[in-house]
Amino acid sequence: MKVVLQRVTSAQVSIDDQIVGQIQAGYVLLVGVADGDTATDIAYLVRKISQLRVFEDDQGRMNLSIQAIDGAILSISQFTLFAETKKGNRPSFTKAGEPAFARTMYAQFNAALREVGLPVETGEFGADMAVSLVNDGPVTILFDTNDK
């Protein structure tokens, strides 16, 4: 799995001009799934994301977790994280998970985040979505379960 995490002050996702998910302070997660991903990958990501300390404390240091600031997550499925761009100018997405498998893993990932007490809003898997956010910092971090 690959996850791009962005610390935000606010974010929302819309489908056909209708807001389907919205948060204030927290993370926007762009989530990509490959066919070889497992429940172990989900557990690893949930632990890393929920315990990541990138919010500022009273001294201005990145020392607080999302839970410490009562933040929320906006999770967006993103198969294009697996784009291969080495050849030509048109990306290939063959390393992205098959849609049925990826949909299940994405749902399990979001459920696991909720199980640790994080509020999670989502887009719609496979939909054409418009995501808007105010990136705070900016702080953007890439997680890849192949690099754990």
Q: How far apart are CA 4 and CA 71, in angstroms?
A: 17
Identify the burial level of 51 via C-beta atoms within 10 angstroms of its C-beta, where 0-12 means exposed, 13-18 middle and 19 or more buried. exposed
Q: Which of 9, 24, 67, 80 is the catalytic position? A: 80
Determine the 3-state secondary structure of 80 from DSSP. Answer: helix
12 has catalytic annotation: no
Q: Which of 12, 55, 79, 109 is catalytic?
A: 79
- Does residue 79 have an active-site annotation? yes
Q: Which one of the listed residues 6, 12, 78, 145 is annotated catalytic?
A: 78
Cα angle value 54/63/22 (rounded, 5°): 40
User: Based on the number of CB atoms within 10 Å of its own CB, is 145 exposed (0-12), middle (13-18) or buried (19 or more)?
Assistant: buried
Task: Identify each DSSP E strand in 25-129 by its residue range.
Answer: 26-32, 55-56, 62-64, 72-77, 120-122
Residues acting as catalytic residues: 78-80
